[in-house]
Structure 1
Amino acid sequence: MSTQIQVKNPKTMAFILMLGAFIGLFGETALNMALTNIMDQYTIKAGTAQWLTTGYLLVLAILVPITALLMRWYTTRKLVIGGLVISLAGAILAALSPSFVVLLLGRLVQAVGTGLILPVMTTVLLIIFPIHRRGAVMGIMGLVITLAPALGPTLSGVIISTLDWPYIFWFSAIFYVLLTIYAMTKMENVSDITKPKIDFPSILLSTIGFGGLIYALSTLAEKAITAPVVWGPLLAGIIGLLLFGLRQMKMEQPMVNLRVFKYPMFTLGTMMMFLGILIILSTAILLPLYLKSALLFSAAMAGLILLPGNAVNFVMSPIVGALFDKSGPRVFIISGSIIVLIGNIMFMNVISATTPNWQIIVAFMILFFGITMVMMPAQTNALNQLPRQFYADGSAAMNTLNQVAGAAGTAIAITVFTAGQKGYGAAFPDASGPEIVAAGVSYAFYFITAISVIAMVIAFFIKKSNGGEVKSLAPLKTKKPVHG
């Protein structure tokens, strides 16, 4: 039985989807290097400024599960082009923003576009390439998912130093325009347009659930968990997610089919992805703050210090993808998770106001060497266990949790960082500003290291899934793509 759909230009379609997702995911962290500039320009605190990242991730977490439904209503071509046009509008709005509120609004609009493209990318790549080539293809996609948010601070550091932070959005806008024109001529439809009934209670519960959870985590940066503005949305989010899950399990045509979590390797792989994204996004917001405010580097220099780690990711992702098809996931995920733990332990121990920059470079390279070995194998092995009719649901579930992980990582990292600063400042009243910032970042890496330990334990339970589970289900007829 074939799970593949034939298209004219599978590589071109993959390129359009991956580049669109890359620009969107780059946008997740691109402003991290500019947060201090934006805080000064609009006279706001770090807890408020981090909403530029957390708000972006919040919209993604709400929209991605809804996109699983949209993929059954609209053609692949319409969703991709629509996503690119909306992203373009958001980028232009943010670039022209006269105030922080308008800047945040532009970011949220841009996130809507990215939220449409991300799940479509994963689902389409699973459908247009045969299973024996998935490792290599998903290796490149893994590069997009990990490199884009990691590279954000590096590229934006250079842009901020030579131009100004609005140019981050102008460059994104140029790419969106070119990519939209290209997509109009090359994108084909590969989704099954079934137009299921839209269940508005599911959409409402999903929005309350993910929205409440991420809002509460983000507010923790400035408020105690006992504050109503924190525990209220947190409680609403947890109840919303529980009701959403119960409703999906009872529906004949659920918005997101949570039965994908009955496949054990999918569940474990999704957990590894969740923890990996959490580590990446936590690091992506903490290191620019540390390099600029504690070690007092310029934005450009801070970006260059992070470049070798990104280079490791760039070189290793295709290699791991190619070797995955031969070796399977287990060796990569276990060894990679151990290396990630080593990198975070190094960060935890070396960070101070006087740390030599080579130590940060080495620790970041070690961290991303391990991350690259974990992310793609975990994702590919997870999705390989699903039958084809569950690809869209598996992709939606995984991408949604990835955005929750990113928002949680960003919010919790800033919360722990702020608590660490306050604690150090109280213990050492005469400490300098850089020393207090360094202490806060070092404290936050205790949290990230704990996450690494959990990931390492899960890694030992991963086994190879070869897609054999598909044969146990009723075979699906391969449909010809509908153009539109």
Structure 2
Amino acid sequence: MDTLSKRDRKVLIILIAGVFLGFLNQTLMNTALPSIMTEFHISTSLGQWLINGYMLVNGVMVPLTAFLIQRLKTRTLYLWAMAIFALGTLIAGFAPNYGVLIAGRVVQSIGSGVFGPLMNVVVMNLFVIERRGSAMGIIGLALNFAPTIGPTLSGFIVSNFSWRWLFLGVAPLIIIDLILAFFLLQNIGEQKFLKFNFLGVILSSIGLGSLLYGFSNAGDGSWASPNVWGFIILGMAVTMLFVWQQTHSHVPLLNFDVFRYHNFWVATLINVVLMAALYGGSLMMPLYIQDVKGDSALISGLALMPGAILTAILSPASGKWYDSYGVRKLAPLGMLVAAMGTVVFAFMSIDTPIWLPVAGQILRNLGLVMVLMPMQTEAFNAVPLSLMPDASAVFTTIRNVAASFGTAAMITIYSIVTNLHISGGMDGRAAQMEGIRMAYWVMTILMLVILAMTFMINDRKN
């Protein structure tokens, strides 16, 4: 950031802090989920809405950010988003029941849904294309480190305090960032007075919401239920209608012309599969350590700590590697390493020593840090600056929805396999172990699929 002006550095630091806090909240619930489920007497499929619902609302919210980023000034948009995020955090922290807790998470995600796309647009405007990889690598400290440190921090808090401190402890940090933004944040880019596509917001909300609700209900294994296939069909139909409406509208909410750029749509497609594998894995490991092995939430969090530290150390370096070598060389190697780390979990048993899943998680994080931010940077570098708000919103929307789908899909696989083994007379913990192993086998296959897809990316010089 040494070539940036003092004003630009302040803007970037404030936005990075907001993105960090927003992404941290995506995974704070993973380790705490068993404790919350016990306190409110809810099932795994219902409990996952603390995680899935947060990402789902983000996915529904982000399409609107393409309009908001261009229509509102940077400072105005960020202050409103951070204030809403703070309000949701306080609601969740003081929630008297599970319904209010979910409501707080929804309000949180409405605010935090703005942070990522806004950050992407600001970075693409501040940095020339030759240095964007390095800049995105620095931002990777927030985007990559926050989700990996979340379960560790959550494990420590849940083991020593109430889960409510996951919200009440973060709230002061959010308020501090809000105050700093009020006094220091300035505007980047030009304001455009666009018309609002109300029908697009309605269609995207119904389509994406219905689709993810259906997949979430499938977590109980009841695929024959209308609450599963009915909402999935409705979601697919309305989402297709949304895409058609956007491509035929004079004032689209999202400009799908971004998909005319080869490397953008390839990188986006890779991220769909990548998010499904990444977020599914982040949910399975706490279930394995706490429910199967019977260890504490603190142990579960500490098991993720080495991989989180590695992510923090290598995120800036991965951006520099991207600027030097390009994603075509980084991504295949990264996915191979990530697949090796994932397959370790597929061979685990109840009696596996704790160091083995820790080693597997380190390998997973090592591989993923070589792919996540470089792939996102490649997607944005493929489109012109005039389409950057749309590219950022489209990419982030699809990424969030894919993450929600991945969580629901892995829970579905886990639940189905576990229930099948229990009905066959197997002990509960052993049946859970089989469900977790199957989920990791599916994730390993997804990693290998991504590895093959990386060769579809065109060389940047072409």
TM-score range, shorter chain: over 0.9
- Going from structure 1 to structure 2, the CA distance change for 1:445 and 1:461 (only over 3 Å counts) comes to same
Larger mean CA deviation between 143-152 and 228-237 belongs to 143-152
- Residue 341 of structure 1 aligns with an amino acid whose one-letter code is A
Match of 1:46 in 2: 44
User: Equivalents in 2 of 1:143, 1:450: separation in Å?
Assistant: 28
TM-superposition CA deviations, 1:36-70 (whole Å, max 9, x none): 11111111111111011111111101100011111
Q: CA deviation at 1:7?
A: 6.1
Query: Within the alignment, does 1:222 sit opposite 2:217 as a pair?
Result: no
User: Equivalents in 1 of 2:426, 2:270: separation in Å?
Assistant: 42
- Going from structure 1 to structure 2, the CA distance change for 1:6 and 1:193 (only over 3 Å counts) comes to farther
Unaligned runs of 5+ in 2: none
- Kindly indicate whether the alpha-carbon contact (under 8 Å) linking 1:7 and 1:128 is maintained by their aligned counterparts in 2: no
- Kindly indicate whether the alpha-carbon contact (under 8 Å) linking 2:84 and 2:108 is maintained by their aligned counterparts in 1: yes
Query: Within the alignment, does 1:435 sit opposite 2:430 as a pair?
Result: yes
Match of 1:478 in 2: none
Task: Name the % identity.
Answer: 31
Query: Within the alignment, does 1:409 sit opposite 2:411 as a pair?
Result: no
- Residue 455 of structure 1 aligns with an amino acid whose one-letter code is I
Q: CA deviation at 1:178?
A: 0.5
Match of 1:247 in 2: 245
Picking from 345, 356, 361, the partner of 1:364 is 361
Match of 2:342 in 1: 344
- Kindly indicate whether the alpha-carbon contact (under 8 Å) linking 2:92 and 2:101 is maintained by their aligned counterparts in 1: yes
* RMSD between superposed Cα atoms in Å: 1.6
Query: Within the alignment, does 1:380 sit opposite 2:377 as a pair?
Result: yes
User: Equivalents in 2 of 1:142, 1:259: separation in Å?
Assistant: 27
Q: CA deviation at 1:240?
A: 1.2
Q: CA deviation at 1:8?
A: 4.5
Q: CA deviation at 1:323?
A: 2.0
User: Equivalents in 1 of 2:157, 2:4: separation in Å?
Assistant: 41
- Kindly indicate whether the alpha-carbon contact (under 8 Å) linking 1:16 and 1:179 is maintained by their aligned counterparts in 2: yes
Match of 1:76 in 2: 74
Q: Give the count of matched residue pairs.
A: 460
Match of 1:327 in 2: 325
User: Equivalents in 1 of 2:201, 2:79: separation in Å?
Assistant: 23
- Kindly indicate whether the alpha-carbon contact (under 8 Å) linking 2:221 and 2:416 is maintained by their aligned counterparts in 1: no
- Kindly indicate whether the alpha-carbon contact (under 8 Å) linking 1:342 and 1:367 is maintained by their aligned counterparts in 2: yes
Match of 1:477 in 2: none
TM-superposition CA deviations, 1:316-368 (whole Å, max 9, x none): 1111111221111111111111111111222112x211111111011111111
- Kindly indicate whether the alpha-carbon contact (under 8 Å) linking 2:197 and 2:251 is maintained by their aligned counterparts in 1: no
Larger mean CA deviation between 37-46 and 440-449 belongs to 440-449
Match of 1:124 in 2: 122
**1:202-351 equivalent positions in 2, closer than 5 A:** 202-349=200-347, 351=348
- Going from structure 1 to structure 2, the CA distance change for 1:197 and 1:365 (only over 3 Å counts) comes to same
- Going from structure 1 to structure 2, the CA distance change for 1:255 and 1:191 (only over 3 Å counts) comes to farther
**1:471-482 equivalent positions in 2, closer than 5 A:** none
Match of 2:390 in 1: 393
Match of 1:456 in 2: 451
Picking from 170, 175, 178, the partner of 1:177 is 175
Picking from 19, 22, 30, the partner of 1:24 is 22
3-state SS, counterpart of residue 219 of structure 2 = coil
Match of 1:479 in 2: none
Runs of 4+ in structure 1 displaced over 6 angstroms?
none
Q: CA deviation at 1:252?
A: 3.0
User: Equivalents in 2 of 1:362, 1:460: separation in Å?
Assistant: 28
User: Equivalents in 1 of 2:324, 2:111: separation in Å?
Assistant: 36
Match of 2:104 in 1: 106
3-state SS, counterpart of residue 60 of structure 1 = helix
3-state SS, counterpart of residue 297 of structure 1 = coil
User: Equivalents in 1 of 2:114, 2:379: separation in Å?
Assistant: 22
- Residue 198 of structure 1 aligns with an amino acid whose one-letter code is F
- Residue 190 of structure 2 aligns with an amino acid whose one-letter code is D
- Kindly indicate whether the alpha-carbon contact (under 8 Å) linking 1:143 and 1:314 is maintained by their aligned counterparts in 2: yes
User: Equivalents in 2 of 1:443, 1:426: separation in Å?
Assistant: 17
- Kindly indicate whether the alpha-carbon contact (under 8 Å) linking 2:220 and 2:416 is maintained by their aligned counterparts in 1: no
Match of 1:9 in 2: 7
Q: CA deviation at 1:173?
A: 0.4
Query: Within the alignment, does 1:59 sit opposite 2:53 as a pair?
Result: no
User: Equivalents in 1 of 2:36, 2:234: separation in Å?
Assistant: 32
User: Equivalents in 2 of 1:190, 1:115: separation in Å?
Assistant: 19
TM-superposition CA deviations, 1:108-140 (whole Å, max 9, x none): 100011012221111111111222221111112
- Kindly indicate whether the alpha-carbon contact (under 8 Å) linking 2:70 and 2:389 is maintained by their aligned counterparts in 1: no
- Kindly indicate whether the alpha-carbon contact (under 8 Å) linking 1:71 and 1:191 is maintained by their aligned counterparts in 2: no
TM-score normalized with structure 2 length: 0.96
Unaligned runs of 5+ in 1: 469-484
TM-superposition CA deviations, 1:52-101 (whole Å, max 9, x none): 11111111011000111112221111111111111110111101011000
- Going from structure 1 to structure 2, the CA distance change for 1:272 and 1:159 (only over 3 Å counts) comes to same
- Residue 391 of structure 2 aligns with an amino acid whose one-letter code is G
